[in-house]
Amino acid sequence: MAAVLVENLCKTFPGENKSTGKLAVDHVSFQVESGEFLVLVGPSGCGKSTTLRLIAGLEEITSGVITIGGKVVNNVMPKDRDIAMVFQNYALYPHMSVFENMAFGLTLRGLPSSEIRSRVEEAAAILGLTSPDNLLHRKPKALSGGQRQRVALGRAMVRKPKVFLFDEPLSNLDAKMRVEMRDEIVQLHRRVGATMIYVTHDQVEAMTMADRIVVMNQGRVQQMSPPRDLYEKPANRFVAGFIGSPPMNFIRGSLTSVSGRMEFRETCAAGHGALLVLPESANGKLPHSHQAEVILGLRPEHLHPFRGQTPAGHCILEATLTRIEPIVPETLLHLKTAGHSLLARISDLEIPFREGERIRLLADLNRASFFRPDTGASLSA
């Protein structure tokens, strides 16, 4: 096991001339503790895979410092960094058996055949490659996608590296197999206790696997937090909208202080938008100017059907129900307020809502987030 420290990491890919180069990784900094499972997540093109390849030594660093196990590795060859990488495409040798694929790196390093066999058999047993069927003598073409990915994992395991690097390893698997392999990788981490850095664009993978998550966008780190903190206390509007499915609702409006209480008025093109009175807990976090423009964020599960009572910290929100989308066992309600389209996620399928009608919902403002409309930065994290 080893800690990994990334400091002000930059990577610029050259363009047709010096002025057109693309800055793919923009002053990225984070630390991975020894034995930690860290996930880099973000949309396509955000720089997460490039960051991983820089750590692996597969791309040349433009500037910054990478330290593995207390040693700066900027100029160290990939083979000498004591890391093992698992790719999206399994990268198995088709003419070799499973055993030979897993043993290949150890053979190149000149390890004794007895130790090679011991390591391969140990890893194969952990990954289920020997039971109920022994797959060690099969060729990759005779394996399923999930089995091939296990072989790729095993090839990394036998090296006993300081750090495992995963570059979207489950993208080529079907939904059922992705869930199974996700669990296997988590269990593998618990068994071997190694430092792991995992890249994915799938937020479900990130939220269910990571000790901590680094959210990236446009080459920059947006937030680094444990999964729950990331979901409940997003640092900015991008994180709030990227993490969560369905994503957070955003309502543009203004805050006004009235007789010691804070009120939020929805912005709309014509007429008056929704008026929500904020709980006292919000008073110390939000601006108290005469009329401050903000964006209110509400998760779909924080909008509930109104049943005649209004709990503390909740407000009634009226909206038109435009569509009912059952995603059993839950239901998504597509709503239209005076100025915004919203989603509510409810579990009660017995409520006799009808599309096109005006309905009343409770907005749980105890769980609300607020963002600056200019920068998107959180006012409530």
CATH number assigned to the domain comprising residue 27: 3.40.50.300
Domain edge (last residue) among 242, 271, 296: 242
Does pLDDT of 348 surpass 70? Answer: no
In a domain, 378, yes or no: no
- 231 and 268 housed in the same domain: no
pLDDT value of position 282: 66
Higher model confidence: residue 381 or residue 151?
151
Give dist(CA 249, CA 200) in Å, integer: 24
Q: Are residues 207 and 254 in the same domain?
A: no
pLDDT tens-digit series, residues 189-221: 998 889 999 999 999 999 999 999 999 999 999
Q: Stretch 156-162: mean pLDDT, rounded?
A: 90
pLDDT in tens, 221-261: 999 999 999 999 999 999 999 999 999 999 999 988 887 78
* 189 and 320 both lie in a single domain: no
The arrangement of strands across the sheet holding 261-266 comes to: 275-277, 261-266, 249-258, 292-298, 369-371
**Tokens at 288, concatenated:** 């108290």
Residues 210 and 255 in one domain: no
Residues 50, 53, 55: CA angle, nearest 5 degrees: 115
Average pLDDT of the chain to the nearest whole number: 90
What pLDDT does residue 66 have?
98
Name which of 15-24, 100-109, 188-197 the model is least confident about.
Answer: 15-24
**Nearest CA among 142, 192, 119 for reference residue 162:** 192
Whether this model's pTM surpasses 0.75: yes
- Residue 376 is assigned to a structural domain of this protein: no
Residues 231 and 253 reside in one and the same domain: no
What are 323's strand-pairing partners? 334
Does residue 99 share a domain with residue 170? yes
* Full residue range of the structural domain in which residue 284 is found: 249-371
Residues 171 and 265 in one domain: no
Are 180 and 269 in a shared domain?
no
pLDDT on residue 253? 93
209 and 283 together in one domain: no
| pLDDT band of 353, cuts 50, 70, 90 | confident
Least confident span in 79-88, 137-146, 255-264: 255-264
291 pLDDT tier (thresholds 50, 70, 90): low
Quick check: 36 and 11 in contact, CB under 8 A? no
pLDDT in tens, 49-70: 999 999 999 999 999 999 999 9
Residue-level pLDDT at 349: 61
| The pLDDT value given to residue 14 | 87
Number of domains in the chain: 2
Same domain (yes/no): 72, 179: yes
Q: Evaluate if residue 287 carries a pLDDT over 70.
A: no
Confidence of residue 381 (pLDDT cuts 50, 70, 90): low
Q: Range with the lowest mean pLDDT among 36-45, 279-288, 292-301? A: 279-288
* Alpha helices (runs of H) in the chain, residue ranges in sequence order: 48-56, 98-108, 113-126, 145-157, 175-192, 203-209, 227-232, 237-242
Average of per-residue pLDDT across 128-138: 88
pLDDT at 351 over 90: no
**pLDDT at 145 (0 to 100):** 87
Tell me: do 265 and 133 sit in the same domain: no
Q: Do 134 and 256 reside in the same domain of the chain?
A: no
| pLDDT value, residue 290 | 58
CATH number for the domain spanning 284: value is 2.40.50.140
The pLDDT confidence band at residue 175, using thresholds 50, 70 and 90, is confident
